Each structure stands twice: as structure tokens, then as C-alpha cells.
Amino acid sequence: MRGAASLLLAAGFALAGPAQAAASPPGDGWVHFEPARGDFALAKDGRVAQVVTAPEDYDVVRIAAEDLRGDLTAVTGVKAASGTEIWIGTLGRNPAIDRLVAAGRIDAAKLRGAWESFVIAAVPNPAPGVKQALVVIGSDRRGTAYGAYELSRAIGVSPWHWWADVPPEHHDALYVSAGTRRFGPPSVQYRGIFINDEDWGLVPWAQGTFAPNEPAPGPKTYAKVFDLLLRLRANTLWPAMHKASRAFNADPANAALAERYGVVMGTSHAEPMLRNNVGEWTGKADDFNYLTNRDAIRDYWRQRVRSNAAYETIWTLGLRGIHDSGMIGPKTDEERRATLEQVFADQRQMLDEAGISGAPQVFTPYKEVLDIYRAGLKVPGDVTLMWTDDNFGYLRHFPDDAEQARGGGNGVYYHLSYLGAPLSYIWLSTTPPALIREEMGRAWDNGARKMWIANVGDIKPAELGIDYFLSLAWDIEGTRAQPIGTWVGQWAERALGQGTGAQAAAVLGDYYRLNFARRPEHLQWYLPGEKPHASPLGIAEADARLAGFAAMEQRLAALRPLIPADRADAFFELLDYPVSASAAANRRFFAAEAHDALRDAAPAESWRRARIAADADAELTALTRRYNREIAGGKWRGIMAVEPADGQWRGFRLTPPVVPAVAEMPAGGDAAPVPAAPVLPMLTPAQFPRAKGWHLVDGLGRNGAVLGAEAPSAPTNASIVLPAGNWRAVVDLLPTYPSDNGDMLRLTVRIDGTAQTLNVPRHTGDRDWARAVLDNRISLPLSAALGAGQHRVSIEIGDPAVMIEAIRFVPADKPITPT
């Protein structure tokens, strides 16, 4: 190596080596393809800038630098070095960059002591023989790595380059606009994901396809996870922990690899002190009893503290059962409270003995533990309180003034996937980004800014939800300021190619709206163990729902020809499979129901519906086979399983659908017409004027938006004309939780001046809660009888947590259905 590179090596630099990469279209325009005055040339004339680091810098900096070099090659197709250079370094770890800062060539004052922040700036003549360098400076090791990956994003490399097969868009030349760009610190300090319920996707895929020579998931798989996290500006991982997986720390190479990548390791609420109990506790489950076996449990925890004390870790405190179950031993909440306080003291003593008493610590009041906390549990003030949703996207608790004042701060554990009661959802990812925005925004506004973790199942197919959650965590104000359709459209355009964003956003808008009414995994209206019964939708109502899915599929079909051939795999993974599979699942379920309902009254139509159900079932099989065997050359074999995948955990999963056998079907016959479902009067959120304190929440609910308020708010009013008949009003709310952490939502509705105050109990785990989370709605009938004519409706909110989906008007003598 000669010339400028030799001088830099003498100054303490090392050139980064090659790495894999792929790309998507460029981002916000500070990297472009035609030169302008003052630009820095990343690539031109068949050459690319050299990526340079210092040997004193962190491992993750070298990893990110290697990835950037590979990304530049993936976009341009060339490797030959130009005379320009990209310097990547951490303050205090890169002598050449430190000299630039000391000389005042770059203003790094705001970087010193900042958390995960970075600056990108072009510097002329930074060293002898170097005409110009693009300098990426990080405040700490992850800040520097994020800077390198930010440049990768800007040249068009998607964070999903590997996990969703998003390919690069080729460009011969790349230029960085003049100026200094500053990023960070992030809105939330610790941001990450929890790989969970991995038995039916990640583990069989890793074992059978990606890494068959190592117990799954192992270092080869986790290296890909760590790459994704860094590219998404995340920093924390709770690893896979089901019995199907090998415990993360059972292989010391996993923890060492996480440290190299700068990823902070933690564990879920069920795995205190970095211990995967399912895989590592070798005694009987009943022996995990702190009242009778305290010494053995302490030794078990202490071993992990000793082995992992040198790594950057967030230590989960507390105690539950072996898996996701209640504490063994104590019988009352008072006994559980006393036991937990002793556990806190013992666990913190272990950390102190290991010399890491200042390491981050977190306690999660999850499920039954929240009741213990509210009964007076004393949690040390420097421990982060990790609040949770109800497993279905609705946060149960928001930090009050005292909790916000605690030194340990507050965080959120949020579900984008869940295995548990009343019914699981671990197949398709249908939580609307708008719900994530509203609930996580409420949490952030109430001081939950220390740590955010999302349960993401197998990662696939939750790509969009993961990206949006982590984008909020990195920059909540910038992200939530964008309408959902805008953000989704930009995300899709980067993944699928120019000119696809608006249409893809429309398809995904339909997808989230339709599946919000009922997730594909929840297509039964009875709970496990109950006597089966049909859905409350009549055939005409079900047909109206299916018409919505058909329209969505037509939008998808119109988009498909616009997808470049090299993005066909990404399109299938990110859009085609989830959209098509959710539509097929609904056709299969409702056509099979109609077949049963019409068997006696209209046999020919019954069998026509049976064929629709059978065809939909076959389509689901074909779609999933294609995902597992054909996409990306078979790369994802074993990753996708239609729910229910098997007979495990039957108490938490829907009953396998019964599809009429094709061999039993008689030859066709004329279809019998089914009367269309009547269109009932309704006031949607858009019909209410925006009185002071009221706003439309875009991208949420069955009508594409819900009505929200900020207390105190003036009443908002609308009028409706009802046809002849006797009517009653039904107010539909989202099943949110009260802002004051109480157990009652409150609102007042006036119709023609007569007020009715609605007090809505919110008790997690009861039957009303189960119905509400499966419907994503609480339906509240009003008592007043209404006749034909014009009526004036006024709404007053008693709690800003209330979000109104619609006010429907139904015949007074008819039951309320969830349509």
C-alpha cells in the first residue's frame, strides 16, 4: 500500500477489509448521483473512497467499517480505491480524528459525553497526501458504528438487506453534499427486540437451513441479528429463550460476539440475572422456590454474574416461575412482595461483589407481578421500571409523577407477537404502526424513555413493525410527526423500488385496517376449551368483509408489475405473502362457515362456498411452500408456519380449520344469491369537527382513523339523520387503559341533549378483556331509544386515553355484532 494510505497507517490507522452487503434506494437526499459544487465523491470514475479506521478503536467500529466498504461495492460494483477516504472513528480512540478535533477542524463539543451520537462531515486536506476525507465521528462505540451505517442507508443500503433480501440499486457515482450532519442522541437510551416463540420459525430455519452445524440459534444466526440491530440503530437484545432453543449463554461464543458488535444483552421478565431457566435450570420446577431453596438459586444466579460481568449487560431483577408463570412458593401478594424485596437485595449484592453495581438493572411488573407492585412493592430507585402492554398492544400502566422522578427511569416491554391467552398471534404481523405510535408515544410523554423492547417473535414477517418501533425509539418526534401513510410509503419505496411507495402504502393501509377487526390467528369466536360456535357475522356481513380483502388483493395485483425483477423476493416477503395469506385465511374461514350455514337451505351455493374454502386452503399451502422453498433460492426454508402450526400450546391457539374435502364436492350448480348486508347508519371520526383538544388518529381502526382527545377538551358534535325504525346508539372504543392507571375509562355521550356517562371497566384477563383484545374494540350500547329523523350527538371525554372508532346506530331489537 502506498501514498496517502501509508501515511495514515503510520498515524495509527488500519484499512477496513471487505464485507457482504445489499442495498435499497437512497434516503433523504444528502447523498446523490450527480456532482455539485463542494461535494465529497464517495464513488466516481470506477473507484470508491477507502474506508479507514484506527487499530485502537472498538471491534464494532471495524465491523461497521467493513460493512460500509462492502455496501459501497454492492451499490457501485467496484472495489478499486480512489484518492478520497472515509475516516471512521470514536472520540478518544482514533488519533488522527482526535488531532482534527483538537485543531478545530471539526466541532465535536456536543459529542463529548453524549450517548450514541455522531457527526458526518467532509474535511479538506485532513492529513499529508490526503486531499479530502469524509469523517464519521462517534461519541462512543455504537455512535461511531451508527455513523457508518447511516452512510450505508444514505447510499441506498437497506437495514433489511439480508433479512428481507432487499437488493442494491446500482449507481456508478455517489456524492455527499457539503456540510456537517449531526445525529443523536436517541430518544430512548436502550432500544431493542426480544426473539420469542421461536419454535415454529427461527429455530427450524436455523437448524435445518442456515446454520445446521451449530445448536440453534448460535453465533452464525446471532451475527445476522446483530447486524440488523445496528443498522436499525438498536442496541439491545433479549435472546431466544424457549425450550426449542439452546440457551444463549450456554455457548460462550454468543456473549463474546455480542460484545464485539457492541450489543447490550438482557433477558426477559421470566429470566432474571441473565439465566434462561427453561434451558439452564436443571432441578425440578418446584425447586425454583426462593423460600425453600434460596442458596441453590443464588448460586445459580451468581455463576452467570461471574461469567458475564465483563460484558455490557442489562441485568433483569426479580423472580417468577421457571417459564412465563407465577412465582413458586409464596401464597399471597404480601408474601410475594416480601420475597421479591429479598430477591432484589440478594441480586444487587451479587452485582456489587462482582464490581458492577453500577450496571443497568431492570424490573418488569408483568402480568401478575403488576398486582404485587401496586400492593406496595419497594423497588430500588436506580432500577428501571419496565412497564408492559396487555400482550395485545395496549399499555397497562404509565409512569406517574413519583415513578418519573426515579433515578432508574422507566421503560416499556411491548408485544408485536404473542403466544398466550386468550389466543396467540405468532404467524402474521398485523399490529398497526399507528397503534404502536399512539401507545409508545403516550409512554414516552409520560417519561418511559430509558428502555424499549419489542417482542418480535421470529423477526419475520414483522419487518415493518420492528422498523417502525425502533424508528420511534431513535427519534420519536421526527417519526411520529409523519402521517402513517407517509412513513409506510417511504419505507416501502426504499425496499421495493422507485414509484412503488404510494401504492404499497395503500395496500398496507388496507392490510392493517382489515386485520385490525380480527387478526388471521383469531378467526374463531370462541376460546380454547369452549364449545365451538359460529362467528356473529351473517353471510352477507362476512361477504362484505371478504370484499374488502378482494379489493386489497386487486391493489396488490396492480402493484406487482411495478416491482423490479431483482426485488421480487423482497416484495413477496414484505408485502405479497402477508397480504395474500391474510386474505386467503379469511376466505377459507368464512367460506367454510357459509358452507355449513347453507348446507340444507341452498346445497349448490353451500358447495360453491366449500370450493372457495378448499381453494383458499390450497393457496395458503402454496404461498407458504413458496416462502419456505423457493424465495431467495430456498434461503428461508423452515421460517414460515401457518397458524396453528402444530398441536402444541393448544390452550392458547385457534382450532385448526375444518375444510371440506374436494373429493366430497358434487359437480357445480347455480349459485344462490345472498342478500347484501344492510348498510346501517354510522358516525365516523371524520364526521366530527375538530373542536379544541380533539384530533384524528390516522391509520387506526376499521374506518382508517379514530377520534382522540387531549384532556381537557371541549365537546365535539355531529348530526345524523336516521331512517324509519327504532334505533339505539353503540359507541365503539379501542380497548386502551386509563391514563391514571385506574380500572375505568370514562366518557359522556349526549344525544339530543340527554347525557349518558359511560364507565368502562378495564380488568386484564377477564372475559370482557379477552373479547375486547380479539375484537380490538369495546362496544357500548346507549340506553336511549331513538326514532327516525335528525339527531345531534355530542361527546365529552373524561380520559385522554379514550379513542373512539365510531358511533353506530343499530335496530333496537337486534344484537350487537362486531362488523
Q: Which residues of 729-740 are buried (b: 16+ CB within 10 A; e: fewer)?
A: bbbbbbbbbbbe
Helix-strand-coil split of the chain, %, nearest 5: 40, 20, 40
Instruction: Give the pLDDT score at 497.
Output: 96
Residue partners of 565: CB distance under 8 A and separation at least 6: none
Among the listed residues 131, 128, 135, 148, the one whose alpha carbon sits nearest the alpha carbon of residue 19:
148
State the Cα–Cα distance between residues 618 and 623, nearest whole angstrom.
9
Identify each DSSP E strand in 442-512 by its residue range: 451-455
The helix (H) or strand (E) run that includes residue 127 is strand 118-127
Instruction: Give the pLDDT score at 4.
Output: 34
Tell whether the model's pLDDT for residue 66 goes beyond 50.
yes
Please count the other Cβ atoms lying within 10 Å of the Cβ belonging to residue 664. Answer: 9
State the Cα–Cα distance between residues 273 and 268, nearest whole angstrom.
10
Q: What confidence category does residue 29 fall into, taking pLDDT thresholds of 50, 70 and 90? A: confident
Contact status, residue 126 vs residue 89, Cβ threshold 8 Å: no
Q: What is the pLDDT of residues 672-731, one digit of tens each?
A: 788 888 899 999 999 998 888 899 999 999 999 999 988 777 899 999 999 999 999 999
State the Cα–Cα distance between residues 569 and 571, nearest whole angstrom.
5
The pLDDT of 623-636, averaged and rounded, is: 98
State the Cα–Cα distance between residues 729 and 750, nearest whole angstrom.
11
Q: What confidence category does residue 20 fall into, taking pLDDT thresholds of 50, 70 and 90? A: very low
State the Cα–Cα distance between residues 584 and 591, nearest whole angstrom.
10
CA distances 411 to 337, 362, 507, Å, are 21, 9, 33
Among the listed residues 710, 730, 717, the one whose alpha carbon sits nearest the alpha carbon of residue 798:
710
Residue entry with cell 396453528: 644
CA distances 342 to 339, 366, 378, Å, are 5, 19, 10
Helices 603-629, 577-598: inter-axial angle, 10-degree rounding: 160
Tell whether the model's pLDDT for residue 12 goes beyond 90.
no
The pLDDT of 305-332, averaged and rounded, is: 95
Instruction: Give the pLDDT score at 673.
Output: 81
Tell whether the model's pLDDT for residue 1 goes beyond 60.
no
- Kindly report whether the peptide bond that precedes residue 712 is cis, defined as omega within 30 degrees of 0: yes
User: Grid coordinates in use for 141?
Assistant: 462505540
The pLDDT of 542-556, averaged and rounded, is: 98
Instruction: Give the pLDDT score at 183.
Output: 97
* Percent of residues, the chain, with pLDDT higher than 90: 89
Instruction: Give the pLDDT score at 163.
Output: 98
Contact status, residue 387 vs residue 399, Cβ threshold 8 Å: yes
State the Cα–Cα distance between residues 372 and 369, nearest whole angstrom.
5
Residue partners of 586: CB distance under 8 A and separation at least 6: 514, 520, 523, 545, 546, 549
Residue 243 phi/psi, 5-degree rounding, is -60, -25
Higher-pLDDT residue of 8, 120: 120
The helix (H) or strand (E) run that includes residue 75 is helix 59-76
> Which residue type, as a one-letter code, is found at position 581?
A
Tell whether the model's pLDDT for residue 404 goes beyond 70.
yes
Phi-psi region of 385 (alpha: psi -120 to 50; beta: other; left: phi over 0): beta
Alpha-carbon Rg of the chain, whole angstroms?
A: 28
Contact status, residue 140 vs residue 170, Cβ threshold 8 Å: no
> Which residue type, as a one-letter code, is found at position 621?
T
Q: What confidence category does residue 596 fall into, taking pLDDT thresholds of 50, 70 and 90? A: very high
Q: What is the pLDDT of residues 212-258, one digit of tens each?
A: 999 999 999 999 999 999 999 999 999 999 999 999 999 999 999 99
User: Strand 180-183 and strand 130-138: pairing?
Assistant: unpaired
Q: Helix or strand or coil: residue 66? A: helix
Contact status, residue 87 vs residue 132, Cβ threshold 8 Å: no
Residue entry with cell 415493518: 464
Contact status, residue 687 vs residue 636, Cβ threshold 8 Å: no
State the Cα–Cα distance between residues 219 and 204, nearest whole angstrom.
16
Among the listed residues 500, 256, 265, the one whose alpha carbon sits nearest the alpha carbon of residue 359:
265
Please count the other Cβ atoms lying within 10 Å of the Cβ belonging to residue 771. Answer: 17
Residue entry with cell 426485488: 567
Give bridge partners of residue 808 from the DSSP assignment: 682, 730
User: Strand 705-709 and strand 803-811: pairing?
Assistant: antiparallel
Q: Which of 113-117, 295-299, 601-605 has the lowest mean pLDDT?
A: 601-605
Give bridge partners of residue 41 from the DSSP assignment: 175
Residue partners of 811: CB distance under 8 A and separation at least 6: 725, 726, 727
Q: Please give the torsion angle defined by the CA atoms of residues 788, 792, 796 and 800, in that order, rounded to the nearest 10 degrees.
A: 80
Give the dihedral sign, CA 382/194/515/244. negative
- DSSP-derived letter for residue 817 is -
User: Grid coordinates in use for 583?
Assistant: 386474505
Instruction: Give the pLDDT score at 94.
Output: 98
State the Cα–Cα distance between residues 274 and 279, nearest whole angstrom.
12
Q: What is the pLDDT of residues 707-722, one digit of tens each?
A: 998 877 789 999 999 9
Q: What confidence category does residue 646 fall into, taking pLDDT thresholds of 50, 70 and 90? A: very high
**Mean pLDDT score across all residues of the chain:** 93
Instruction: Give the pLDDT score at 25.
Output: 33
Tell whether the model's pLDDT for residue 5 goes beyond 60.
no
Q: What confidence category does residue 609 fall into, taking pLDDT thresholds of 50, 70 and 90? A: very high
Identify each DSSP E strand in 553-654 by its residue range: none
